[in-house]
Amino acid sequence: MARRTPQHARPRVRPRSRTGGVEGNARFTSSFAAVIFILLFVEGVTIVSIRSLLTPHVFIGVLLIPPVLMKIGSTTWRMLKYYTGSREYRLKGPPAPLLRLLGPVLVVLTIVMLLSGVGLVVGAPVSSRPLLFTIHRASFVLWFGAMAIHVLGHAIDTARFAPRDWIAYTRRQVRGASARQWSLGASLVLGAIAAAIITPYAANWHAAFFG
Q: Is 117 exposed, middle or buried (0-12, 13-18, 19+ CB in 10 A)?
A: buried
At residue 19 the predicted structure's pLDDT band, cuts being 50, 70 and 90, is low
Q: Tens of pLDDT along 116-162? A: 888 888 877 777 888 888 998 899 889 888 888 988 888 999 999 99
Q: Does 26 map to a domain?
A: yes
Strand, helix or coil for residue 164: coil
Q: Is the dihedral of CA 59, 60, 64, 65 positive or negative?
A: negative
pTM for the predicted model, two decimal places: 0.83
Whether residue 10 lies inside any domain: the answer is no
CB contact at 8 A, 190 and 65: no
Number of domains in the chain: 1
DSSP class of residue 53 equals S
Q: Could you tell me if residue 55 is inside a domain?
A: yes
Task: Assess if residue 11 is contained within a domain.
Answer: no
Residue 5 belongs to a domain: no
Average model confidence (pLDDT) for the chain?
Answer: 85
Residue 42, domain extent: 20-204
Nearest-angstrom CA–CA distance, 134 and 7: 67
The mean per-residue pLDDT over the stretch 58-79 comes to: 93
Q: What is the CA radius of gyration of the chain?
A: 21
- What CA–CA distance (Å, rounded) separates 9 from 115? 56
